[in-house]
Amino acid sequence: MTALKPVLVFAYGNPSRGDDALGPLLLEALENQVGTNTVEFIVDFQLQIEHALDIQGRRVAIFVDASVKAEMPYQFSRLMPLRDRSYTSHAMSPAALLDVYQALYGSPPPTFLLGIAGLSFELGEVLSPDAAQNLALAVEFACRLLSGSAEDILAAAIKVVPPLDLPVPA
Amino acid sequence: MYEHLETAVNPAGLKRVVVDPVSRVEGHGKVTLLLDAENRVQQARLHIVEFRGFEKFIQGRPYWELPVLVQRLCGICPVSHHLAAAKAIDQLVGVDPADLTPAADKLRRLLHFGQVLQSHALHFFHLSSPDLLFGFDSDIAKRNVIAVLAEYPEIGLQGVKLRKYGQEVIRMVSGKRVHGTGAIPGGMNKALSRDERDYLLQDIDQVLAWAESAVALIKSVHTANLPYYDEFATIRSNYLGLIKPNGAMELYHGGIRAKTDSGTTIVDHYDYCAYTDLIHEEVRSWSYMKFPYLTALGKADGWYRVGPLARVNNCDFIDTPLAEAARVEFKQHGGEAMVHSTLAFHWARLIELLHCAEGIKILLRDSDVMSSHLLVQGEKRYEGIGVIEAPRGTLFHHYQIDDNDIVTKANLIVSTTSNNMGMNESVRQVAAEYLSGRELTEPLLNSLEVAIRAYDPCLSCATHAVGKMPLQLELVDAEGQVIDRLIRHSDGEFEHGLA
């Protein structure tokens, strides 16, 4: 119904499950700070096979999720298609989603994952204080990344991979 | 049936096998088997190991928050919770289902058809078709949607696109993919614009064709190996679900119909607002999930199944022509009043998917969905009950509020809870008939999961942060010592052996 924007930022998570809200909250912050002519923001509870179709036709795609693996406040990394086991559940990993994309359409566009460190994920919890600090740093980073044209954004994304060496908050 | 395998007479000294968690289902559950020295199954249970606390999550909130809030209970069927809550909250503002404007009623039904269509497409094509197309005992590396896309690209792509279409219906009706506020107390907050309606109409004929193909596919898969498909995991049970006043299948609003395994009617057009008189829930010490039963029949005989198989079994007809023709064929194949095959859940599910596609087309051609008459008001009440047929079965939301509009009591019976006994019986049937006395292998253990997956259970809300949701398989010897362990992390890494 509207023209496809060249940059996709896709955040996923459940806003009522504590730090699982990090992805949706980052998008909420970015929507007020980043121009939406180039960037399309999509939020969902979890990744599913049909989201492969959202990647189609993009110049660059960035997934945003809470991470229990991130050793830093946030980690920005390149994603490649990977046949992991998450496709056997209702919720897929972004790498598995790229694998689905590859099976459907061939090589996916350059795709990245912004994982924001979270600690606690119980139903009904609010964001933990540590996660809130991590979110603020991730928002700063994402605002810097998502400026200019799609080519500028892609160049900036490639430049910061491997992950930024950021101080861990006390 | 197989209830004698719920609890072993003498568990001491038995070998224990654990499948934890069950994969390709929503949430976290595990199966435990107790085996004697000859590998004969003495006990088999499906446990739900996460306490969800949904009611606590809801209590203390203002009621008007609930239609949005309850969507967060489940990442897979948020719209089902949204609509069940909306129906309950209609009553809190003094509006009964019959009072809704035609536009609001039809928009909610359209939203619901979109939800059921996408959920059924996900379950069949993504989670179950690998088992059904390649075989339960096929190479584990093949039992996934990627292999389906590789070997059956047309079928795989249809599944992806059917799911996408259902999501688009939800997005157009509610305004957003998630957290939409389509339904509000007393009605809907927006109609479809002409552009939105036309956008959805563009693809509906293609969606209908795919849905018909899906029904043909599952029928051919099921009938190609008829004795096995009719017997595997099969149990006889009562069935419960909503029904239209004329006996037609109903997904959004109706009375409750329950039938016995022989098709005798237990209750019909029962007012769901009196559900507490109809259903009781039993607690068993070994599972967080309760065991509901029809009070009049008692605990032993009153358990029932819900969901696609129950709905297709219970209804007199389906009021869309293609799905009705498919239903007639489905019922004929069984040769008796009710179809009990657990694997027939898949067939029934796809008949419903076809019904949803037909229902969407009918509603998109109805100008009421673009009407601005969306809201009605009434006098405040202190109690509201909303029931719908969610993709997995009958879903109950029940709230009480105080003078300040705060929820003081909430009770939810989710579909999977109603199928708890059925899933356990199916697990025990497979354990007794297909596993007992044999050397346990991964394909045999997968057959347990195949039985559970047929119900499309939603065992808990998803939390999917990177690094969550591993799978663990333990082998425990007769003395209770763990002697081997296999862990599968969500990123695909395997860890084998004892730490």
Q: What DSSP state is assigned to residue B20?
A: E
Statement: residue B496 has pLDDT above 80: no
Distance from CA of B152 to the nearest CA of A (A): 11
On whether any CB of chain A is under 8 Å from the CB of B49, the answer is no
What is the reported pLDDT for B260?
98
| B-chain residue closest to A23, CA distance | B465
pTM recorded for the entire structure: 0.89
On whether any CB of chain A is under 8 Å from the CB of B202, the answer is no
One-character DSSP codes across B415-474: HHHHTHHHHHHHHHHHIIIIITTS---HHHHHHHHHHHHTT--B-S-----BT---EEEE
Residues 92-121 of B with CB under 8 A from A: 118
> Is there a contact between A84 and B122 if contact means CB atoms under 8 Å apart?
no
Q: Which residue has the higher pLDDT, B294 or B289?
A: B294
> Is there a contact between A91 and B469 if contact means CB atoms under 8 Å apart?
yes
Query: Tens digit of pLDDT for each residue in B310-334?
Result: 999 999 999 999 999 999 999 999 8
Statement: residue B475 has pLDDT above 60: no
Burial of B206 (0-12, 13-18, 19+ CB in 10 A): middle
ipTM, 2 dp: 0.84
Non-local CB neighbours of B243 within 8 Å, separated by 6+ positions = B249, B250, B254, B255, B256, B257, B268, B269, B314, B315
Statement: residue B420 has pLDDT above 80: yes
What is the reported pLDDT for B483?
53
Q: Which of B12-26, B122-136, B153-167: highest mean pLDDT?
A: B153-167
Q: Which residue has the higher pLDDT, A14 or B201?
A: B201
For residue B72, which of B180, B167, B186, B169 has the smallest C-alpha distance? B180
Burial track B231-245 (b if 16+ CB lie within 10 A, e otherwise) = ebbbbebbbbbbbbe
> Is there a contact between B464 and A91 if contact means CB atoms under 8 Å apart?
yes
Tokens matching residue B491: 């990123």
Integer angstrom CA distances of residue B351 from B36, B129, B158, B177, B309? 42, 15, 16, 25, 10
Residue B267 CB neighbour total at 10 angstroms: 15
Residue B336 CB neighbour total at 10 angstroms: 10
What is the reported pLDDT for B10?
77
On whether any CB of chain B is under 8 Å from the CB of A16, the answer is yes
> Which ranges constitute the DSSP H helices of B335-405?
344-364
Enumerate the residues of chain B whose CB falls inside 8 A of the CB of residue A68.
Answer: 465-468
What is the reported pLDDT for B491?
45
Helices B420-430 and B442-453: crossing angle in degrees, nearest 10, is 150
On whether any CB of chain A is under 8 Å from the CB of B75, the answer is yes
Range B137-156 average pLDDT:
86
Distance from CA of B156 to the nearest CA of A (A): 9
Query: Tens digit of pLDDT for each residue in B100-133?
Result: 999 999 999 999 999 999 999 989 998 889 888 9
> Is there a contact between A43 and B178 if contact means CB atoms under 8 Å apart?
yes
Burial of B39 (0-12, 13-18, 19+ CB in 10 A): middle
What is the reported pLDDT for B20?
63
For residue B84, which of B458, B460, B459, B394 has the smallest C-alpha distance? B394
Mutate to test the interface with A, among B416, B463, B493, B494 (most CBs of A within 10 A): B463
Q: Which residue has the higher pLDDT, B328 or B483?
A: B328
| B-chain residue closest to A89, CA distance | B24
Angle at B417 between CA B22 and CA B165, to 5 degrees: 75
Query: Tens digit of pLDDT for each residue in A152-164?
Result: 999 999 998 865 5
On whether any CB of chain A is under 8 Å from the CB of B197, the answer is no
Residue with tokens 């007769």: B478
What is the reported pLDDT for B35?
85
Distance from CA of B253 to the nearest CA of A (A): 27
For residue B159, which of B132, B137, B181, B140 has the smallest C-alpha distance? B132
Per-chain mean pLDDT for chain B: 87
Range B271-284 average pLDDT:
95
> Is there a contact between A14 and B72 if contact means CB atoms under 8 Å apart?
yes
What is the reported pLDDT for B465?
34
Helices A22-31 and A129-145: crossing angle in degrees, nearest 10, is 40
On whether any CB of chain A is under 8 Å from the CB of B201, the answer is no
Non-local CB neighbours of B95 within 8 Å, separated by 6+ positions = B185, B186, B187, B376, B377, B378
Q: Which residue has the higher pLDDT, B10 or A17?
A: A17
On whether any CB of chain B is under 8 Å from the CB of A159, the answer is no
In this complex, the residue of A46, A82, A91 whose CB is nearest that of residue B492 is A82
Mutate to test the interface with B, among A47, A50, A100, A101 (most CBs of B within 10 A): A50
What is the reported pLDDT for B372?
95
Distance from CA of B234 to the nearest CA of A (A): 24
Residues 413-472 of B with CB under 8 A from A: 461-469, 471
> Is there a contact between B492 and A85 if contact means CB atoms under 8 Å apart?
yes
On whether any CB of chain A is under 8 Å from the CB of B475, the answer is no
> Is there a contact between B465 and A88 if contact means CB atoms under 8 Å apart?
no
> Is there a contact between A124 and B56 if contact means CB atoms under 8 Å apart?
yes
Q: How confident is the model at residue B264 (pLDDT cuts 50, 70, 90)?
A: very high
Q: How confident is the model at residue B480 (pLDDT cuts 50, 70, 90)?
A: low
Q: Is B198 left (phi over 0), alpha (psi -120 to 50) or beta?
A: alpha
Q: What DSSP state is assigned to residue A89?
A: S
What is the reported pLDDT for B497?
57
Q: Which percentage of chain B shows pLDDT scores above 70?
A: 88
On whether any CB of chain A is under 8 Å from the CB of B409, the answer is no
Q: Which residues, listed in sequence order, are joined to residue B19 by a DSSP beta bridge?
A: B31, B473
Statement: residue B495 has pLDDT above 50: yes
Q: Which of A82-86, B30-34, B115-119, B410-414: highest mean pLDDT?
A: B115-119
On whether any CB of chain B is under 8 Å from the CB of A33, the answer is no
In this complex, the residue of B57, B118, B125 whose CB is nearest that of residue A123 is B57
Contacts by residues B377-380 (CB-CB < 8 Å, ≥ 24 positions apart): B377/B93, B377/B94, B377/B95, B377/B186, B378/B93, B378/B94, B378/B95, B378/B99, B378/B186, B379/B94, B380/B92, B380/B93, B380/B94
Burial track B107-136 (b if 16+ CB lie within 10 A, e otherwise) = bbbbbbbbbbbbbbbbbbbbbbbbbbbbeb
Tokens matching residue B145: 């949607």
Backbone angles phi, psi at B479, to 5 degrees: -90, 0
Statement: residue B466 has pLDDT above 60: no
Q: How confident is the model at residue B71 (pLDDT cuts 50, 70, 90)?
A: confident
Tokens matching residue B150: 């590789």
Query: Tens digit of pLDDT for each residue in A42-78?
Result: 999 888 888 999 999 999 999 999 998 777 899 999 9
> Is there a contact between B466 and A44 if contact means CB atoms under 8 Å apart?
no
Q: How confident is the model at residue B489 (pLDDT cuts 50, 70, 90)?
A: very low
Integer angstrom CA distances of residue A6 from A54, A57, B289? 11, 7, 46
Residue type, B374: L
Contact B398, B279 (CB under 8 A): no
Tokens matching residue B273: 């607002």
Question: Residues B49, B50, B54, B60: is their CA dihedral positive or negative?
Answer: positive
Residue type, B109: R
For residue B108, which of B181, B204, B193, B202 has the smallest C-alpha distance? B181
Query: Tens digit of pLDDT for each residue in B197-243?
Result: 999 999 999 999 999 999 999 999 999 999 999 999 999 999 999 99
Contact B462, B478 (CB under 8 A): no
